[in-house]
Structure 1
Amino acid sequence: MGQPRRTYTDDFKAGAVDRLYEPGATQGSVAKELGITGTQLKTWRLEIEAFGLTEAKRRQKSDAAELDRLRKENKRLAQKVEILHKASAFFATRAVKP
């Protein structure tokens, strides 16, 4: 029988990966300090980076959709303003005549 499988919290994983970015830190040294394998640490790093990439893409799509919506709204409002200018010019010419 092998050892029971250890589970780690997301905070622990994120903290471990953050330590990789400290000056002089290596994957092997951080893994050894934390009592995990270098492969585990690498897997966590790749998962976190992939999530960040996925999150960035999701945010980019959301921003693009919002920009598209705002452009349509801007066009609609510009049309309303044009109609109001024409209406005010029409009524201004009729108000001058007795």
Structure 2
Amino acid sequence: MVRKSPYPAEFRNDAVALYRAAGGKRTYAAVAADVGVTGETLRRWVRQADELAGRGSSGEQAAESRDEELALLRAKNCRLRRAEKEKEWEPEREILRRAAQYFAKEMRA
């Protein structure tokens, strides 16, 4: 009995497209960490996508190419939004760092 994946197909396609966009410059584990899955899970998804691509016709491959590009753009959009949120929190983090240093000095004295 095959267990249904807890990840939607769109998420898996985005992860595969993100790995392929790296062009061999990043490992499965590195890309998987960004996505939030294990390296082996991502490797299995890529293998499955390759098997499906090998069976499809040229029309299906063109649609898959568009789907991969869309998945890549969505993943990039997600990364950019995450980076933007990180920048928003930078002033608060700096205040907390300074406060921690101040209280650490008081604890030593």
TM-score by length of 2: 0.43
Greater RCO, 1 or 2 (C-alpha within 8 Å, sep 6+): 2
* Bigger radius of gyration among the two: 1
